[in-house]
Chains A and B, each alone.
Chain A
């Protein structure tokens, strides 16, 4: 394991049964989460981002199977070699890794919480089960935590049931529960998708604040590139069970290289300018159960090369932080320029900023 990484995933493959045969839904994922950074894993539904995240906590569906690969988690002290979570039993992960090392926040705050238990009880439970603390001390810790996630009246919230809270407050409670045992890693799976934009903005702010205060490493899963732009340090783009591009925030947003990334960025509507036509990616994602040949994105890719239909391209490195799964960058081809509308939006950035200054 590299020194500054807290988690590394190598060549992870996960299969699920479909009509009596096993289909590979995660087809070799490599991922490195550096300590204290927010890594966004971006993809459309069915790309495998949630399955990848769940495998880290042994929360895969029963029928799923890890076929190969390593999930290396650095020890708390950092001096031993990483533990391979893919080799640990489910019970071992649940008892020693989950909550203590990795906390998770799910999409729907109403189904995550137990509707028959008060917030306080649910929060204190973690302390009692994992740390064998007495009720009094557990309560004190729980109240501190509720205050730290920005709930205005912790005492009152402690006694309330989930249905008495708004969606935003519920998500704060879940974040508090996920952080209760001081994990090093927080996995967030679309935590703001079911929330209103004004609430979403505040939850994102809270996550950034907690991440900085606690030196958390965050794996943030989403399909919303606007949210990614707001929160991520590092971005991985996933398509049909594999990473197709990875890089720093500025690599991916300002120097995107993969045609799929271009399509994703272009299909995010612009707030300041009305386009004649929105750019969309033609077609739909492939059905992995019907078998793949070559690059799964090739049929939707205007820049696909003949060999892409035969064999999936490997990753090509563009810089120490930026890599892309596309033969356009193999050195033998000349990469095409950015699509016009995207180049305009990225270019506008500097001119708009200049104009703003002159106005002031």
Chain B
């Protein structure tokens, strides 16, 4: 690969707590994401995958290691200006769209938040037009503009969260379990939407999830996390077809499959 990575994470460390109670959440994690690529981090709860995402977007300051984004080191102390700049290029969507959206704000205003902060419009009409056009793109009807989050279904709320992230034209989107709170049939709608938007807008994505079958559907490359460490990285074909780590194999074997013979492996092996 000759392409320069958009994101380079090297030897990332993250701890929670201090002194004797210090818990290592992430240990020496390194990976890269190229422009337009989808890299998935998978692992069980407590493996550190969410912490990696939160550290990259600087909700948590890294305790060690380096994060290069678009060639710039973003792992040190950031000035207000740098933070603002970063928030334009790096956006995140969260698992639970109910708690990530302000319940007392109208959907239109939630989506326009980034535009407001960065003053990316010259008139109210322009603001409204920009919001309506992104709403259309994510499949929200025009009437949704003036409604509150509680008046939407889970799937539609996640569409609002996606619109809020995309209106900034980010280069990298971090999606942390974006569909695990949704019903099966709605999950597929949101995954299709993410795939489509990514293709159209050439965004790179860090997709954090525990659902391996979904990861198979959306990712180009996959990293497997276990107890804070990244134990295996590879193309989706390789990780799902020929995993090299025993833990990865165990994880894949544990997924209940609809048509067991689909996998081409014995499936129900001892765990």
Contacts and interface: CB of A to CB of B under 8 A. Distances in A.
A, B from the same assembly: yes
Interface of A: 44-45, 196-198, 200-202, 204-205, 223-227, 229-230, 253, 263-265, 267-275, 277-282, 284, 345-346, 348-350, 352-353, 355-356
A44 B264 contact: no
Interface of B: 44-45, 153, 155, 183-189, 191-192, 195, 210-214, 216-217, 236, 240, 250-264, 271
Contacts of A280: 185-189, 192
Contacts of A349: 259, 261-262
A226 B189 contact: no
A198 B183 CA distance: 22
Nearest to B196: A277
Contact of A44 (B183, B213, B236, B258): B183
Given A197-B251, A284-B155, A349-B262, A269 B256 contact: no
Given A229-B259, A274-B216, A200 B254 contact: yes
Contacts of B255: 197, 226, 271
Contacts of A346: 259
Contact of A253 (B189, B191, B250, B259): B259
Contacts of A356: 261, 264
6 contacts: A44-B185, A197-B44, A229-B256, A271-B213, A273-B262, A345-B262
A275 B217 contact: yes
Given A201-B254, A269-B216, A271-B216, A348 B259 contact: yes
Given A201-B254, A345-B258, A269 B44 contact: no
SS class, residues of chain A in contact with chain B: helix
SS class, residues of chain B in contact with chain A: helix
Given A227-B256, A277-B192, A271 B185 contact: no
A274 B153 CA distance: 28
A229 B260 contact: yes
Nearest to B43: A196
B183 to A, nearest CB: 4
Closest 10 CB pairs of A and B: A280-B188, A226-B256, A196-B44, A278-B188, A281-B185, A201-B254, A269-B213, A267-B188, A230-B256, A197-B254
